[in-house]
Amino acid sequence: DAEVQSKAPAVSDALDNSILLARHNFLSTVRFGYFLRRCQQRLRLERMLRGSEARSLEQLLAEVPAGDAVELARIATREASLAVEYRATCVFGDFLELFDPRNMRQLELTADDASCLTIEAAAFGAAVYEAEEAAASKYKFHYMDYGSRNQA
């Protein structure tokens, strides 16, 4: 335990500005954009069915059961999940190549660059959701099981 604790600050410092952490944050933000678009669709459906009694997006998010929230955030198809992973690999590189504890490659970004990357990730997540929905009527997708947290 003492050895692990003594190495923890060095590992934390190496991860701070690493490309690996930037890739992870990108994937999280993509999933957030996907989640928001999916919640907006659910809210539109509720408004169509309930009319003026429908909740706001904030109410929907506050009242949705935790299990449903996980499902709303989870990318629904294996194909969309692969597209998200491919995009992250194109932008940052392959996870296995980036994960080298002896040599964490660093990323230098200005605050504006980081902001643009965050916006791009969220927009990409929303676009993935819309593309998945549009293509679902034409192509056979491999939907992940409800309750499954396995990404492709």
Q: What is the pLDDT of residues 18-51, one digit of tens each?
A: 999 999 999 999 999 999 999 999 888 888 888 7
Contact 17, 107 (CB under 8 A): yes
pTM of the complete model: 0.81
Specify the pLDDT at position 72. Answer: 85
Identify the pLDDT of residue 10.
67
Q: Give the pLDDT confidence of 53-105 residue by residue, as tens digits.
A: 767 888 888 888 888 888 888 899 999 999 999 999 999 999 988 888 777 88
Question: Long-range pairs for 25-30 at CB < 8 Å and ≥24 separation?
Answer: 25/118, 25/121, 26/88, 26/91, 26/92, 26/117, 26/121, 27/84, 27/85, 27/88, 27/121, 29/118, 29/121, 29/122, 29/125, 30/84, 30/87, 30/88, 30/121, 30/122, 30/124, 30/125, 30/128
